[in-house]
Amino acid sequence: MEWLRLFFLHPVSFYQGAAFPFALLFNYLCIMDSFSTRARYLFLLAGGGALAVAAMGSYAVLVFTPAVCAVALLCSLAPQQVHRWTFCFQMSWQTLCHLGLHYTEYYLHEPPSVRFCITLSSLMLLTQRVTSLSLDICEGKVEAASGGFRSRSSLSEHVCKALPYFSYLLFFPALLGGSLCSFQRFQARVQGSSALHPRHSFWALSWRCLQILGLECLNVAVSRVVDAGAGLTDCQQFECIYVVWTTAGLFKLTYYSHWILDDSLLHAAGFGPELGQSPGEEGYVPDADIWTLERTHRISVFARKWNQSTARWLRRLVFQHSRAWPLLQTFAFSAWWHGLHPGQVFGFVCWAVMVEADYLIHSFANEFIRSWPMRLFYRTLTWAHTQLIIAYIMLAVEVRSLSSLWLLCNSYNSVFPMVYCILLLLLVKRKHKCN
């Protein structure tokens, strides 16, 4: 079957699929209470190391090194200092690795190694876990192990204290993908027995497999449509709108299927939602809320629900600590975290402006649109506009070359974000007059 061949030809999907038996084995051993807490930490850590070497080859050193350094900082610094230093080190290391990708793509004009790209993706996820843990320690949610390396304890005692940190930063179900799992949740899962009943786990995984099957079949169908039609380089006028919309649809389908696969691996290992807990409750945050993403008529809602655990992480890390222009700072940091490619900088800044416009436009509309036929018309119109703006932003973020970005900006697709920009200026001016 073509969809199955294409899905598992993707390197990350292949390695995530290969990790499934070990995730199920870990969950089974936890249910049977067959090994100690320390053995569970070691199992997850060893699995992460093996998966990193298999997927990244020699580039795995680029993930192991910051993980070791992060644990050293976590164990040696005071709780008030730990977040600042770990954040600076982790983002500096990740930026240097991204600069290596820039050098390969833009200076040498060579395609980057697939293993190196997998390494960068894993490094970005490691940054999430490192900063989330350091924030937890700084805020007092997690007991700090500060002074551990400076005390007179034996080496084995130092390693035992640091083992949960090492295991959390490199545990294999979340090494290559998956929603962000907090350290408290991770620790609770490892130290307690699995909360998943085998029958519940079987049906949950079966439902996810059916979702992936449906998404991949759609992916194949849409990719055939995209390949058969004109591209962004040779499309004409209004045809470019259709090209961008279908291409963005292809990207979204790919993201959805991979997010569900990543979520399935976490679920198989016992890190999914507990029985009776609905998606979105505190602790478990699925990345793919497809129903909300595809039916929302608000760009701000799409921004909160797209890659939901990352959106919450950005809100906690940047937005809540920003005094001036928090929205712009959050999207600017997201561009930095993603690698600062020209299309990413343009796309995320555009997204920030669109979200700001979204707030003002819908607040204004809620004041003046009263009748339900007009509300239905308004909701339909803004839904279509939102989908077209998101398609525009998605292509801007995904394209690598400046020439492709220039073609996108010069196409008729730029009309849609331009309309929101004009409305933003008019509503800001009106708001100032009213004040």
Identify whether 1 is part of a domain: no
Which pLDDT does position 8 carry in this prediction?
41
Could you tell me the two tokens for 422?
């004009």
In tens, the pLDDT along 40-61 reads 999 999 999 999 999 999 999 9
Q: How big is the chain, counted in residues?
A: 435
* Number of folded domains that form the chain: 2
Q: What is the pLDDT of residues 211-249, one digit of tens each?
A: 999 998 998 888 888 888 777 888 888 899 999 999 999
Residues 333, 291 within the same domain: yes
Q: Is residue 4 part of a domain?
A: no
Write the DSSP string, 146-203. Answer: TTTTTSS--HHHHHHHHHHHHHHHH-GGGTSS-----HHHHHHHHHSPP---HHHHHH
Q: What is the DSSP string of 222-286?
A: HHHHHHHS--TTT--TTHHHHHHHHHHHHHHHHHHHHHHHHHHHHHHTT-SPPTTPPTTSTT---
DSSP letter at 104 equals: I
Structure tokens at 191: 């130290």
pLDDT given for residue 154 in this prediction: 65
Domain limit, last residue, from 167, 191, 215? 191
Q: Residue 367's pLDDT is what?
A: 87
Residue-wise pLDDT for 251-304, tens only, equals 999 999 999 999 999 999 988 776 445 444 456 788 888 999 999 999 999 999
Determine which one of 10, 102, 158, 338 is catalytic: 338
Q: pTM to 2 decimals?
A: 0.92
343 shares its domain with 420: yes
- The three-class DSSP label of residue 130 is helix
- Picking from 171, 191, 211, the residue at the C-terminal end of a domain is 191
- Give pLDDT, residue 198: 58
The pLDDT of residue 152: 57
Whether 330 maps to a domain, the answer reads yes
As a whole number of angstroms, the distance between CA 67 and CA 140 comes to 22
Catalytic annotation on 307? Answer: yes
Based on the domain organization, do 329 and 266 belong to the same domain?
yes
Residues in the chain predicted with pLDDT less than 50, given as ranges, are 1-9, 275-276, 278-281
Exposed e or buried b per residue across 75-95, where buried means at least 16 C-beta atoms within 10 angstroms of its C-beta: bbbebeebbebbbebbbebbe
Which DSSP string do the residues of 108-128 spell out, in sequence order? S--PPPHHHHHHHHHHHHHHH
What pLDDT shows up at residue 157?
A: 74
Q: Which of 136, 171, 191 is the last residue of a domain?
A: 191
Q: Which position among 307, 341, 362, 413 bears the catalytic label?
A: 307
380-388 LR contacts (CB < 8 Å, sep 24+): 380/297, 382/297, 382/298, 383/295, 383/296, 383/297, 385/416, 385/419, 385/420, 386/296, 386/297, 386/298, 386/299, 386/302, 387/245, 388/241, 388/244, 388/245, 388/413, 388/416
Q: Tell me: do 136 and 30 sit in the same domain.
A: yes
Provide the pLDDT for residue 5: 40
237 is in which domain, residue-wise?
202-434
| 162 within a domain of the structure (yes/no) | yes
Would 316 be classed as within a structural domain?
yes
Q: Return all residues near 333 (Cβ < 8 A) that are at least 6 apart.
A: 314, 317, 318
Q: Which residue has the tokens 């058969």?
A: 228
- What is the tally of helices (H) and strands (E) in the chain? 18, 0
